[in-house]
Amino acid sequence: MTATQTPVAQTPDRPGVPTAPARPATSALVKRFWPVAAFALLAVLPYSGITIPGLFDGPINSPGALQVLALCLVFGGLAAGYDLLFGRTGLLSFGHALYFALGVYGTDILITKYGYPLPLAALLAVLFATTVATALGAVALRVHGIAFSMVTLAFGQVGAILVARDPGGLTGGEEGLALASSGLPDALVGVVNTVNLYWIALAYLTLVVVVLHRVAQSPTGRVFAGLRDDERRIGVLGLDPYRFKLVSFTLSSALAALGGVVYLLLAAGASPHVASSDLTLTLLVMVVLGGPGTRFGPVIGGVLFTYLDHRLTDFGGSDAVDSLPGVLAGPLSQPLFVLGTIFILAVYFFPGGLASLGTRLTALRRAVTPPPRP
């Protein structure tokens, strides 16, 4: 062996065959099971009475804190479901709020106006939203690129106009439609049962994450990634891009409708803003903030954006902001201004979203660490 050759480790039963470098077992286990530990921690969080000053206005298990956390979980799931369409398949839809609104209003109308029980109303609302998504997606996906985005925006605007005009007195118009508590189980009524709503929100997020993980690992998920990267190559392989895009569109919309059911329980009613295009743009911001096409980036973006939106609204009206000079008090009193600034900074310093933070920190640590001495 010459001086330039590197000795290789040999397996006992196959001499001369180099062995692959072994990864630390602990690191592999942590990487594989930390999501399970994280969701388990979230599940037992309501049993903790810890108070975190500045983050919440009371103990973590207080109804107010659990309400905020539940909303964060719901929008984390919504962002992840939208990322199936945007980050994993490469389809930019501006009408995704329509299917969320169908879940909200469909369930509310069936319970409040027609006296349906919650399970049946939720099932029918999600099935109806899925059917509408399949029909509208079949039309919108006949075009590509920005034309597809404009068609979905048009469908979403039609839905928002219908909600505002209160057809047949079903939606309540601009005032919205309060949810009749008589149609809900006793375990979901009242402030004392906020913890049950929190667990439902966590179950929804868990379901979305599991479904998206299974899809991403399946052959269909690999086709979605191929559509995002190069749609022509999928056609050359003999696959029909239109059918796969329709599957992605329908599944993403069904998950949004299911999230609408959970949101309805948390908000105790439906309001017109759930059908506006602003909600779709908010979901897009959440995905970009967290990291499109990543496993947990959209969830992180959705949770963080929702929490900041809630806390910055309270912060903007606080005495601390009012006591500042006008040049500072004005911008800081506007939550959207602060959120926009945070978003710009995050995109500038982390182009791949917050999900790339770990990779960038690792690269930075390697860059500043001096090489080992020979």
- Across residues 21-44, what is the average pLDDT? 73
Q: Which residue has the higher pLDDT, 319 or 194?
A: 194
SS3 for 230? coil
Res. 11: pLDDT tops 90: no
Q: What is the pTM of this model?
A: 0.86
Torsion of CA 12, 13, 14, 17, to 10 degrees: -30
CA angle 215, 239, 134 (to 5 degrees): 60
pLDDT tens, residue by residue, 155-192? 999 999 999 999 999 999 999 999 998 889 989 988 88
Name which of 291, 299, 274, 281 is nearest 355 in CA terms.
291
Cα–Cα distance for residue pair 248/318, rounded to 1 Å: 44
- By CB atoms closer than 10 A (0-12, 13-18, 19+), residue 195 is middle
Give 145-182 as a 3 state SS string: HHHHHHHHHHHHHHHHHHHHHCHHHCCCHHHCEECCHH
So what's the pLDDT on residue 241?
94
Q: What is the average pLDDT across 325-333? A: 70
> Which residue in 93, 103, 296, 92 sits closest to 212, CA to CA?
296
State the average pLDDT over residues 113-128: 95
Under 8 Å between Cβ of 152 and 99 = no
Cβ atoms within 10 Å, residue 311:
17
Q: What is the pLDDT of residue 3?
A: 44
Per-residue pLDDT tens digits for 214-240: 999 999 999 999 999 988 999 888 899
Q: What is the pLDDT of residue 66?
A: 93
**How many Å apart are CA 105 and CA 176, to the nearest integer?**
9
- 350 pLDDT band, cuts 50/70/90, is confident
Look at residue 2 and tell me whether its pLDDT is greater than 80: no
Question: Domain-by-domain residue ranges, the chain?
Answer: 61-276
